[in-house]
Structures are given as structure tokens and as C-alpha cells.
Amino acid sequence: NAGVTQTPKFQVLKTGQSMTLQCAQDMNHEYMSWYRQDPGMGLRLIHYSVGAGITDQGEVPNGYNVSRSTTEDFPLRLLSAAPSQTSVYFCASSSGTSGSRADTQYFGPGTRLTVL
């Protein structure tokens, strides 16, 4: 199993550009999520999905869109990049069907995004 994979590893954007961060998992997990990691702030939840066709907002959703057409994939879209979105982005998945608070999350290696 590859686990949770993310592409690209690094990306530099100009303000106003759009892009999609890719996330895939091969563990047949229903629950997937996106976090951003900023220095001194830990990880903050952007969006999550409890299954194909179902998504919801987390703590910091503004400026980001998600969709979940398959169990395996959960892309994160930046509609119009801003310097405040410079961060490291992590995708995670867990085996629980409802994002149960007891579930262990499995994280991808991250995408380091810089917005100029």
C-alpha cells in the first residue's frame, strides 16, 4: 500500500493564480481531510469528507474548494491564491465512516506552497 499520496511536493504560485493540490489514498478509507500547517499554529482543518459526494467545511475553509467524486481522491482547489495561503498542506484519511473522534488519521507527506 502506498498509503496517502500528495502531489506536487512543492509549488510556487503568483497572487491570483489557481491550482489544485492532489490527494489519493489506497486504503479504502471513507474519511479524508485537508489541513494546513503554519509555524507556531499547529495544523488547522480546512475541509473534510465522510465519503464520496459528501464534503464539509472545517476551521479555515475560506479560499479553498473541495470535491469527492471517488473514495480514493480528494483534491483541494485554491481559486485565487493569496500570500496568506503560503503554508504546508497535509491530506489525511481514516477508516472511520463518520470522522469519529477516536479514529487514527493517516497523513500524506505534504505539499509546500508559496504564494508570491
Partner 1 sequence: AQSVTQLGSHVSVSEGALVLLRCNYSSSVPPYLFWYVQYPNQGLQLLLKYTTGATLVKGINGFEAEFKKSETSFHLTKPSAHMSDAAEYFCAVSVSNNDMRFGAGTRLTVKP
Contact 76, 66 (CB under 8 A): yes
Could you tell me the smallest distance in angstroms from the CB atom of residue 46 to partner 1? 12
- Per-residue interface string for the shown chain with partner 1, residues 33-72, x marking contact by CB under 8 A: --x----xxxxxx--x-x-----x-x--------------
Of 11 and 17, which CB lies nearer to partner 1 in the complex structure?
Answer: 11
- Which of 65, 59, 55 minimizes the C-alpha distance to 44? 59
DSSP3 helix / strand / coil % (the chain, rounded to 5)? 5, 50, 45
Query: In the complex, which residues of this chain contact partner 1 (CB under 8 A)?
Result: 4, 35, 40-45, 48, 50, 56, 58, 90, 92, 98-102, 104-110
